[in-house]
């Protein structure tokens, strides 16, 4: 095993054509086991090697977890619908109302955008609200005045006017939402829920 | 258990031998610090891969989201400034380490046979790294990156024959657009790193084939890569990491204001490692030979000499020549870089441009950080619609040829004029109209009431220069000057001190600027109004009422074209009043035939006028940016121009 094979001497420029034919250095025959190195050197080398890898990787990893560490956008506040209680029919006929709110998209904020819609009913002066999203698979639930029910055109889910299901297609009744009346105006705590489960779980 | 698992894996993959080969490469002459450079390069590249991929997960390449996403990374995301800082400074570290590696390879003769191919692979790797730096510079889509990259792509376009086509392909069109960012990003995060990994693998493979270029085989007993050289490499990498981290934490990656085609960026410079080329191109003799000469032929020739080194080394004295060549080019690069830095630091205009860019960068963070956040049209609109940012620029452009703002042109610079006798010199120009920094303030009102002739005294310079309507400009002879002399006399009586305060309070209250409501003492204002209407003063004197001439003072401002050349003082100094006045100061409602100021109603758009006025009256989102220091004391006051600079 000769070092000269793989290491040209430093004056090879003077006789460049004498460069020996390439002999792959160490892989032809397994080299003799290197002498046992001082354990300290091995530990240090491994330790420092790990440090220079772990530091950037963990900084990057924490940065990646930023959505968990820095929560943005507190959801679930009451939103005014721009509609007074008096504006709802007294006979309890459902009214569909668009919910508008500021949409925050990471660094952008778009004021007063439609974010969903709700069915509102007034019963003896009390207002109840349902999300129009069908708890089955997320289509928009319609009101059928003739049948006097709520009906989803996608998979024929049907609900009575109190939101209870009247067939077995939806897994649960319509999702009711909290309503607040402030100075005669209707406010709704707009939320969306996971579809296709019997439990009402906010998304 | 683990052992048997490893054996199982090894039987199927041969990983043990691979690991063995990787770790037990022979290092004749012992481990050396001088062998660490290649490893530090691989390490910085790994840093770039790690931070780059994480940044990728938060970056949005489009002209309306690139700056915004980088802003969000930098200011809002957890450790975002550190991750971006590492990426930014490791890129620069990589360039430095690359230069060290290359120089060492040449002086140690490691490029010579049989390592020619590996040298060429290294040159390709160097070009890939530089291309990564160039493409990465544009991605934040800030003013700095935008204008520096414009230069790069223009140079590309100046390449003979294929230039324009290459430029359009790189840009994804004839001008910069969403697609420019998409393409640069695909290059930066996809193609170039892929190429780099491929060529790096080849580079390492060929390196291992020929082994290390031993500097001094008798330095120490032979050893192996693991653990002796690994330890030294790890220490060196730790050093690099420490420097990069310190820079990331304490200096931070810069984010200049969002790119704006309509806003020239006088502070534009390429990244520092391209400064030498920038400076080289600025030599007159280079410029006169055309852009392709300086930007393409000369660097191309140098690269060709470099690439041919493994062949020229075979010639007599070839290696010596190559070493000398390397040192001379290095000295040239260092010299040109230093020259560029030195010149910039002594260039007042460049420093002012940098200062202004810093202000804008600070300001855009304030605006983007408002609860309203950033509009979907992009952050650049925030600056374009910000009176605090645009007011000074509009003032400098339209007003500062006559007026001053606290002695400067609105942007913290002297107004200069060519010297009347020596055209090659410039001097600080004398103001030809009033300094407006105090417009609408108590100081301003006091000046008008008590010392009208001097308050508008700068106007005399206009007469001095142009001999225009001299007789109209004798401010001491004007009616208001006479009235002012009376007022000054009466109000200098100590008994009337409170009444003067009241009159001024009243006059200031006419302006109704934002946040003014709670500022004024209402009893003073009331008393002031009585005085303005001619009520007797504490001393018993009765003044000529302001309403004798300015008969609308105190009423609501209405735009008319009537009046007798006594300026309408209804809601004086308010936004409405200012807009009407600036639009047409020569109207009958204002100075009529005595007016000397151009009408700006047609020179400025209503939006510009609105921004200027809102800036003048302080109607903008609160800022922590320091106002420009006053330069009033540095302005020559004599009627004749004094020489300076």
Out of B57-71, B90-104, B171-185, B485-499, least confident range: B485-499
Exposure string of A10-21, with b = 16+ CB inside 10 Å and e = fewer, is eebbeebeeeee
Q: What is the CA radius of gyration of chain A?
A: 35
Q: Is residue B321 part of a domain?
A: yes
Same domain? For B248 and B276 the reply is: no
Same domain? For A100 and A159 the reply is: yes
Q: Is residue A137 part of a domain?
A: yes
Same domain? For A8 and A49 the reply is: yes
Question: What residues of chain A lie within 8 A of the CB of B235, using their CB?
Answer: 48
Same domain? For A107 and A177 the reply is: yes
What is the structure's pLDDT at B644? 42
Q: Is residue A195 part of a domain?
A: no
Single out the residue of B324, B298, B303 nearest to residue B124, CA to CA: B303
Q: Is residue B42 part of a domain?
A: yes
Query: Are A16 and B313 a contacting pair at CB < 8 A?
Result: yes
Last residue in a domain, options B385, B403, B436: B385
Q: Is residue A199 part of a domain?
A: no
Distance set, CA A83 to CA A157, A181, B98, B597 (Å):
28, 10, 67, 54
pLDDT band at B427 (very low <50, low <70, confident <90, very high): confident
Q: Is residue B493 part of a domain?
A: no
Question: What residues of chain A lie within 8 A of the CB of B318, using their CB?
Answer: 13
Q: Per-residue pLDDT tens for B2-41?
A: 889 989 999 998 888 888 888 888 888 888 888 999 999 9
DSSP letter (8 states) at residue B187: I
Nearest CA in chain A to B228: A41
B214 touches chain A (CB under 8 A): yes
Last residue in a domain, options A13, A43, A68: A68
Same domain? For B212 and B292 the reply is: no
**DSSP tally for chain B: helices H, then strands E:** 27, 4
Residue B624, min C-alpha distance to chain A (Å):
22
Last residue in a domain, options A68, A86, A104: A68
Query: Are A57 and B238 a contacting pair at CB < 8 A?
Result: no
B45 touches chain A (CB under 8 A): no
Residue B169, min C-alpha distance to chain A (Å):
31
Same domain? For A46 and A100 the reply is: no
Query: Are A16 and B314 a contacting pair at CB < 8 A?
Result: yes
Task: Count up the domains in chain B and report the number.
Answer: 2
Nearest CA in chain A to B52: A60
Q: Is the dihedral of CA B328, B330, B334, B340 positive or negative?
A: positive
Q: Is the dihedral of CA B3, B5, B11, B13 positive or negative?
A: negative
Same domain? For A129 and A175 the reply is: yes
Q: Is residue A94 part of a domain?
A: yes
The share of chain A scoring above pLDDT 90, in percent, equals: 53
CB contact at 8 A, A130 and A163: yes
Q: What is the CA radius of gyration of chain B?
A: 34
B372 touches chain A (CB under 8 A): yes
Q: Quickly list H helices, B258-386.
A: 275-282, 284-288, 291-292, 298-312, 318-345, 348-368, 380-384
Question: What residues of chain B lie within 8 A of the CB of A30, using their CB?
Answer: 20
Residue B381, min C-alpha distance to chain A (Å):
13
Residue A97, min C-alpha distance to chain B (Å):
26
Using CB atoms, pick whichever of A10, A31, A41 lies closest to residue B228. A41
Q: Is residue B275 part of a domain?
A: yes
- Say yes or no to pLDDT of B280 above 60: yes
Q: Which element (helix H / strand E) includes B27?
A: strand B26-27
Pairing type for strands A126-131 and A176-177 reads: antiparallel
What is the structure's pLDDT at B36? 92
B255 touches chain A (CB under 8 A): no
Single out the residue of A96, A188, A170 nearest to residue A134, CA to CA: A170
Same domain? For B232 and B274 the reply is: no
Q: What domain range is B293 assigned to?
A: 269-346
Same domain? For A105 and A128 the reply is: yes
Q: Per-residue pLDDT tens for B363-411?
A: 999 999 998 999 999 999 999 999 999 999 999 999 998 899 999 999 9
Distance set, CA B91 to CA A118, A147, A196 (Å):
53, 69, 50
Task: Count up the domains in chain A and report the number.
Answer: 2
Same domain? For A122 and A104 the reply is: yes
Same domain? For B252 and B339 the reply is: no
Q: Is residue B298 part of a domain?
A: yes
Same domain? For A95 and A58 the reply is: no
Q: Per-residue pLDDT tens for B322-345?
A: 999 999 999 999 999 999 999 999
- B620, two tokens: 């903008």
Query: Are B227 and A46 a contacting pair at CB < 8 A?
Result: yes
Same domain? For B362 and B337 the reply is: no
Same domain? For A126 and A165 the reply is: yes
Query: Are B26 and A13 a contacting pair at CB < 8 A?
Result: no
Query: Are A106 and B53 a contacting pair at CB < 8 A?
Result: no
Using CB atoms, pick whichever of B83, B208, B376 lies closest to residue A63. B83
What is the structure's pLDDT at A15? 38
CB contact at 8 A, B475 and B451: no
**Can you give the CATH number for the domain in which B117 is found?**
1.20.810.10
Question: What residues of chain A lie within 8 A of the CB of B26, using their CB?
Answer: 3, 25-26, 31
Q: Is residue B333 part of a domain?
A: yes
Using CB atoms, pick whichever of A27, A53, A70 lies closest to residue B21. A27
Same domain? For A53 and A130 the reply is: no
Last residue in a domain, options A45, A68, A91: A68
Q: Is residue A198 part of a domain?
A: no
Nearest CA in chain A to B53: A60
Same domain? For B226 and B85 the reply is: yes
B83 touches chain A (CB under 8 A): yes
Query: Are A63 and B77 a contacting pair at CB < 8 A?
Result: yes
Same domain? For B224 and B106 the reply is: yes
A:B CB pairs within 8 Å: 156
Q: Is residue B274 part of a domain?
A: yes
Q: Is residue A201 part of a domain?
A: no
What is the structure's pLDDT at B471? 52
DSSP letter (8 states) at residue B474: -
List, as own/partner pairs, every contact residues B552-556 make where C-beta atoms lie below 8 angstroms and the sequence separation is at least 24, other chains included.
Answer: B553/B510, B554/B510, B554/B529
Same domain? For B205 and B130 the reply is: yes
Single out the residue of B246, B319, B268 nearest to residue B145, CA to CA: B268
Query: Are B26 and A25 a contacting pair at CB < 8 A?
Result: yes
Q: Per-residue pLDDT tens for A119-159?
A: 999 998 899 999 999 999 989 999 999 989 999 999 999 99
- The crossing angle, in degrees rounded to 10, of helices B442-450 and B479-491 is 100
Q: What domain range is A124 assigned to?
A: 78-189
**Is the ipTM of this structure higher than 0.90?**
no
Task: Find residues 263-322 of chain B whose CB sits inside 8 Å of chain A.
Answer: 313-314, 318-319
Same domain? For A32 and A109 the reply is: no
Q: Is residue B390 part of a domain?
A: no
pLDDT band at B643 (very low <50, low <70, confident <90, very high): very low
Same domain? For B183 and B290 the reply is: no
What is the structure's pLDDT at A7? 38
Categorise residue B222: left if φ over 0, alpha if ψ from -120 to 50, beta otherwise: beta
Same domain? For A98 and A58 the reply is: no
- Say yes or no to pLDDT of A8 above 50: no
- Say yes or no to pLDDT of A35 above 80: no
Same domain? For B67 and B160 the reply is: yes
Q: Per-residue pLDDT tens for A74-108?
A: 556 889 998 999 999 998 899 999 999 888 889 99
Same domain? For B220 and B277 the reply is: no
Angle at B58 between CA B189 and CA B45, to 5 degrees: 40
Q: Is residue A197 part of a domain?
A: no
CB contact at 8 A, A16 and B220: no
Question: What residues of chain B lie within 8 A of the CB of A24, using their CB?
Answer: 209
Single out the residue of B374, B411, B373, B407 nearest to residue B391, CA to CA: B411
Query: Are B209 and A24 a contacting pair at CB < 8 A?
Result: yes
Same domain? For B74 and B162 the reply is: yes
To probe the interface with B, which of A52, A55, A113 has the most B CB atoms within 10 Å? A52
B32 touches chain A (CB under 8 A): no
Rounded to an integer, the average pLDDT of B516-545 is 84
Nearest CA in chain B to A1: B26
Q: Is residue A178 part of a domain?
A: yes
Query: Are A108 and B76 a contacting pair at CB < 8 A?
Result: no
Using CB atoms, pick whichever of B214, B235, B375 lies closest to residue A108. B375
Query: Are B241 and A52 a contacting pair at CB < 8 A?
Result: yes
């Amino acid at each position: 095993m000769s070092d000269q094979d793989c290491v040209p001497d430093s004056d090879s420029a003077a006789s460049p054509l004498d460069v020996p034919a390439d002999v792959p250095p160490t892989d032809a025959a397994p080299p003799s086991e290197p002498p046992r190195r001082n354990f300290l050197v091995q530990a240090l080398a491994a330790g420092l090697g790990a440090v220079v890898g772990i530091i950037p990787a963990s900084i990057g990893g924490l940065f990646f977890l930023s959505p968990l560490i820095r929560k943005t956008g507190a959801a679930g506040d009451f939103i005014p619908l721009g509609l007074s209680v008096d504006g709802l029919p007294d006979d309890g006929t459902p009214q569909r109302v668009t919910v508008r709110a500021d949409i925050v998209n990471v660094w952008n904020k778009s004021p007063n955008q439609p974010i969903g819609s709700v069915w509102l009913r007034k019963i003896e002066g009390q207002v109840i609200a349902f999300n129009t999203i069908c708890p089955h698979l997320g289509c928009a639930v319609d009101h059928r005045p003739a049948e006097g029910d709520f009906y989803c055109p996608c998979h024929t889910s049907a609900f009575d006017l109190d939101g209870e299901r009247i067939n077995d297609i939806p897994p649960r009744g319509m999702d009711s939402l909290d309503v607040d009346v402030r100075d005669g105006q209707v406010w709704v705590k707009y939320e969306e829920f996971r579809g296709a489960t019997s439990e009402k779980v906010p998304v | 258990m683990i052992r048997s698992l490893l054996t199982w894996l090894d039987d199927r993959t041969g990983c043990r031998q691979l690991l063995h080969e990787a770790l037990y490469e022979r290092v004749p002459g012992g481990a050396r610090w001088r062998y660490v450079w290649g490893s530090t390069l691989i390490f910085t590249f790994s840093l770039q891969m790690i931070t780059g991929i994480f940044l990728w997960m938060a970056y949005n390449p489009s002209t309306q989201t690139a700056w915004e996403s980088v802003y969000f990374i930098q200011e809002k995301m957890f450790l975002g400034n550190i991750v971006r800082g590492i990426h930014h400074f490791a890129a620069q570290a990589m360039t430095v380490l690359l230069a060290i590696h290359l120089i060492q390879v040449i002086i140690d003769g490691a490029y010579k046979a049989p390592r020619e191919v590996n040298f060429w692979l290294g040159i390709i790797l160097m070009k890939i790294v530089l291309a990564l730096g160039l493409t990465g510079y544009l991605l934040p889509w800030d003013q700095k990156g935008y204008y520096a990259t414009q230069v790069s792509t223009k140079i590309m376009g100046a390449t003979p024959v294929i230039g324009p086509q290459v430029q359009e392909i790189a840009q994804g069109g004839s001008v910069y657009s969403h697609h420019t960012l998409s393409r640069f990003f695909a290059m930066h995060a996809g193609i170039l790193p892929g190429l780099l990994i491929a060529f790096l693998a080849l580079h390492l493979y060929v390196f291992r084939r020929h082994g290390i270029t031993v500097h001094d085989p008798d330095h120490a007993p032979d050893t192996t890569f693991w653990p002796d050289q690994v330890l030294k490499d790890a220490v060196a990498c730790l050093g690099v990491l420490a420097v990069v981290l310190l820079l990331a934490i304490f200096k931070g990656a810069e984010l200049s204001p969002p790119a704006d085609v309509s806003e020239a960026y006088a502070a534009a410079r390429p990244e520092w490692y391209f400064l030498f080329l920038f400076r080289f191109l600025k030599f007159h003799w280079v410029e006169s030979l055309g852009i392709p000469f300086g930007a393409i032929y000369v660097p191309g020739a140098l690269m060709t000499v470099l690439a041919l080194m493994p062949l020229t080394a075979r010639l007599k004295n070839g290696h010596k020549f190559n070493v000398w060549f390397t040192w001379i080019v290095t000295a040239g690069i260092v010299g040109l870089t230093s020259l560029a830095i030195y010149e910039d630091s002594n260039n007042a205009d460049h420093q002012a441009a940098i200062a202004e860019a810093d202000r804008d960068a600070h300001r855009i963070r304030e605006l983007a950080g408002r609860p309203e956040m950033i509009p979907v049209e992009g952050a650049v609109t925030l600056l374009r619609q910000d009176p605090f940012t645009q007011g000074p620029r509009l003032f400098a452009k339209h007003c500062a040829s006559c007026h001053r703002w606290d002695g400067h042109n609105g942007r913290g610079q002297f107004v200069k004029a060519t010297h009347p006798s020596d055209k090659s010199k410039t001097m600080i120009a004398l103001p030809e109209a009033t300094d407006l920094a105090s417009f609408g303030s108590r100081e301003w009102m006091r000046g008008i009431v008590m010392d009208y002739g001097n308050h508008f005294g700068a106007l005399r310079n206009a007469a001095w220069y142009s001999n225009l309507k001299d007789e109209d400009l004798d401010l001491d002879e004007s009616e208001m000057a006479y009235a002012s002399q009376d007022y000054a006399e009466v109000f200098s009586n100590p008994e009337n001190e409170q009444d003067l305060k009241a009159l001024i309070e009243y006059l200031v209250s006419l302006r109704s600027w934002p946040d003014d409501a709670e500022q004024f003492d209402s009893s003073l204002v009331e008393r002031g109004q009585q005085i303005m209407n001619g009520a007797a003063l504490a001393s018993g004197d009765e003044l000529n009422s302001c309403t004798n001439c300015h008969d609308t003072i105190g009423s609501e401002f209405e735009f008319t074209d009537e009046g007798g050349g006594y300026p309408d003082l209804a809601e004086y100094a308010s936004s409405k009043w200012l807009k009407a006045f600036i639009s047409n100061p020569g109207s009958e409602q204002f100075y009529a035939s005595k007016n000397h100021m151009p009408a700006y109603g047609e020179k400025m758009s209503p939006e510009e006028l609105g921004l200027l006025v809102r800036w003048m009256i302080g109607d903008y989102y609160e800022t922590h940016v320091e106002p420009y220091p006053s330069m009033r004391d540095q302005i020559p006051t004599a009627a004749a121009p004094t020489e300076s600079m």
